Amino acid sequence: MSGVFITFEGPEGSGKTTQIPLLADFLRSRGHEVLTTREPGGTPIGDQIRAILSDLGNTAMHPRAEILLFLASRAQLVEQVIRPHLAGGGVVLCDRYADSTLAYQGYGHGVDLGVLQNLLLFATGGVFPHLTFLLDLDVEAGLKRRAQGGDWNRLDAYALEFHRRVRRGYHQLAKKEPERWVVIDASQPPERVQAAIRQSLAERLPFLTGG
Ligand code: TYD
């Protein structure tokens, strides 16, 4: 596979959806074929799965069912979108990926991390990111931004303590693989966040930014 796969992770309201298109435009201006996508979703089948996951009425959803739905959406996205674009030498920017499962289902809900790693290998067919940006933000600040945006869903409604475990989980994951992760302070104004992302990209993958 000759392309570059970059993922964005972080808590609710950390600004991933603002930052990804800005970075995509920048990389296109440098001559790259850039594809942006998101999880859960990113394909017609994935979007249907996303609707089930987000539905506030689905309070009975068992954690194992939830995991398998996330993974089903991901398997479809990998084969239909991510793998072909990488094979063509393009850049893929993805809003959430396998690390969300480790952070939310693993650290957040306490599902065994080893089990999840095996499931992730199966679901992704071994396609993992070259670089991952963690847009790190205080949990209360993120949830407040999210609620103000009026975009509240079933998954945001988990307890505050859950979201704190998720954030700590992200920090653990970043610590375990520092060569893959870049932690960005997402409490900064959006233009500063974007500048920090581009700066890190120039350091980690200089051939992408042309510098
Ligand atoms: P979304 O509306 O995309 O939120 P955000 O803008 O924060 O990405 O909802 C995705 C939610 O799903 C979010 O709460 C994180 C959660 N999630 C998991 O729990 N596990 C996963 O594997 C993925 C991809 C997402």
Please tell me the predicted confidence (pLDDT) of residue 41.
Answer: 94
Sign, Cα dihedral of 37, 39, 44, 50: negative
What's the gap in Å between 40 CA and the centre of ligand 1? 7
Pocket mutation for ligand 1, best pick of 67, 155, 167, 170 (most atoms within 8 Å of C-beta): 155
Atom nearest to 153 CA in ligand 1: 2
- Counting beta carbons within 10 angstroms of the beta carbon of residue 118, is it exposed (0 to 12), middle (13 to 18) or buried (19 or more)? exposed
All structural domains of the chain, each given as residue ranges with its CATH number in brackets, are 4-209 (3.40.50.300)
For residues 124 and 119, give the distance between their C-alpha atoms in angstroms, rounded to a whole number: 9
pLDDT tens-digit map of 139-190: 888 778 777 776 666 666 668 889 999 999 999 999 999 999 999 999 999 9
Which residue, among 14, 5, 6, has the nearest Cα to 149 in the 3D structure? 14
Q: Is the pLDDT of residue 1 over 70?
A: no
Residue recorded with tokens 């870049």: 182
Radius of gyration of the chain (CA): 16
Regarding the beta carbon of 136 and ligand 1, being less than 6 Å apart is answered: no
pLDDT tens-digit map of 76-97: 999 999 999 999 999 999 999 9
Please tell me the predicted confidence (pLDDT) of residue 155.
Answer: 63
Q: What average pLDDT does the structure give for the chain?
A: 94
The pLDDT-based confidence of 48 (bands split at 50, 70, 90) is very high
Q: Is the pLDDT of residue 211 over 60?
A: no
- Counting beta carbons within 10 angstroms of the beta carbon of residue 107, is it exposed (0 to 12), middle (13 to 18) or buried (19 or more)? buried
What's the gap in Å between 126 CA and the centre of ligand 1? 21
Q: Is the pLDDT of residue 128 over 90?
A: yes
Regarding the beta carbon of 155 and ligand 1, being less than 6 Å apart is answered: yes
Atom nearest to 98 CA in ligand 1: 22
Q: Is the pLDDT of residue 104 over 90?
A: yes
